[in-house]
Structure 1
Amino acid sequence: MDNKLWTVIENNPIIAAVKDMAGLRRCNESDVKVIFILFGDVCNIDQIVNEAKREDNIIMVHMDLLIGLSGKEAAVDFIKAHTKADGIITTKQSLIQRAKEVGLYTVLRYFVIDSMALVNIEKQNSCCAVQPDVIEILPGVMPKVIRKICRISKVPVIAGGLISDKEDVVSALASGALSISTSEQAVWFM
């Protein structure tokens, strides 16, 4: 592993996925080192990131959930120029490419809903010139699928979605995920 994001995630495998300001305040009471911001808009994302940012953590903004910014590369430029975010989360390869160009960490999110989704992950993993730093697969409570994706992925895997207790965390990590992301606040404090 050769980048700070991987090291921090490997050493702190629980990622807080924050959906609102109340959750962010609760998250700030925990020891999590990576925070996924899953809310906000063009007018307040800088304030949200500032509230989340501490010296030793990594803040990732979910571009697809940010209100008021298009799914275009200029939205990544806005995040880079106007916030202290360390990186982005998205389902769009073009945003991954732009974020890499401007020096942001990247998480490419996949929704694994059927076998075609697995084929798509394998195709993108083998053919795309620009690879994300990590991929996140949802839902994250599929040990057999996590193992398969970890085998075919060139980058580390985060399991997210529907992870709600210690058993889910242990299962995902034992299946090969480098870390998990969850909005379940009790898990942030495990």
Structure 2
Amino acid sequence: MGFLETIMEGTKIGGALRRLEDLEELIGHPKIRTIFLLGGDVNQLPNAIKRIRVAQKNVLAHIDLIEGIGKDKAGIHLLKRMGVQGIVTTKSNLVKLTHDEGLWVVQRVFIVDSESIKTAIRVASDMKPSAVEILPATVPRFVIRDLKKSLGIPVLAGGLLRTEADVREAFEKGIDAVSTSLRHLWQFS
């Protein structure tokens, strides 16, 4: 099974956790199956990940945003030992290392112009992540179409989604799933 079935469990909304104070609400949310950790530090992480896993939810850690974790093989191995199922990163060198650890990997890319689309396709084609996450989620339809056609992997999106209409539009453009920290959008799943 692929990323969408295994990690997203067929849902289209992943809960983005920026502040650990919001963890209980995310864990208890009936529609959220996947939590994207977008902050915290190495001291807080073991307990948070354990609570997420006990709640039988999936967890991906954005390694670039977590303080005290090396952005290297040892950091990825540590996150695996803590219980994450995958890593989110903007750093292409970490994609292969994450695969080597047997984890799912989402390569996050920022789409700001036509050149960034070409670069994202080239890098993801070489690194072979499990999925790509584009930011912002409000990119034109052709960006999503080009990524999907060139890469053949799920395209997630995050950033600049405020309303259910924004989320609906992202899905209509071809986005497979979104991550959001906005509570009122978690219901949309």
TM-score, length basis structure 2: 0.90
Distance 1:150 1:174 in 2: 14
What is the CA deviation profile of residues 68-124 of structure 1, one whole-angstrom value per residue up to 9, with x for unaligned ones? 12322211011112x111111001122111111111111100011222211101212
8 A Cα contact 1:10 1:179, kept in partner:
no
1:150 shift after superposition = 2.5
Which residue number corresponds to residue 47 of structure 2?
47
8 A Cα contact 1:164 1:182, kept in partner:
no
1:131 aligned to 112, 128, 131, which one?
128
- Give the 3-state SS of the residue equivalent to 1:11 in structure 2: coil
Asked if 1:109 corresponds to 2:108, the answer is: yes
Distance 2:21 2:140 in 1: 31
Asked if 1:88 corresponds to 2:87, the answer is: yes
1:55 shift after superposition = 5.4
Aligned length: 185
8 A Cα contact 2:52 2:58, kept in partner:
no
Task: Give, as a single letter, the amino acid of the residue that structure 2 aligns with 1:44.
Answer: Q
1:157 shift after superposition = 0.3
Asked if 1:76 corresponds to 2:76, the answer is: yes
Which residue number corresponds to residue 60 of structure 1?
60
1:67 shift after superposition = 0.4
Task: Give, as a single letter, the amino acid of the residue that structure 2 aligns with 1:138.
Answer: L
8 A Cα contact 1:41 1:68, kept in partner:
yes
Distance 1:68 1:17 in 2: 20
1:179 shift after superposition = 0.5
- Bigger drift between 167-176 and 5-14 goes to 5-14
Distance 2:9 2:57 in 1: 13
1:146 shift after superposition = 2.6
What is the CA deviation profile of residues 41-77 of structure 1, one whole-angstrom value per residue up to 9, with x for unaligned ones? 1222111111222454210000000101232221101
- Give the 3-state SS of the residue equivalent to 2:102 in structure 1: coil
8 A Cα contact 1:99 1:105, kept in partner:
yes
8 A Cα contact 1:17 1:38, kept in partner:
yes
1:154 aligned to 140, 152, 155, which one?
152
1:153 shift after superposition = 2.4
Asked if 1:142 corresponds to 2:139, the answer is: yes
Distance 1:28 1:169 in 2: 21
TM-score, length basis structure 1: 0.90
Q: List alignment gaps of at least 5 residues for structure 1.
A: none
Instruction: Report sequence identity in percent.
Output: 29
- Give the 3-state SS of the residue equivalent to 1:146 in structure 2: helix
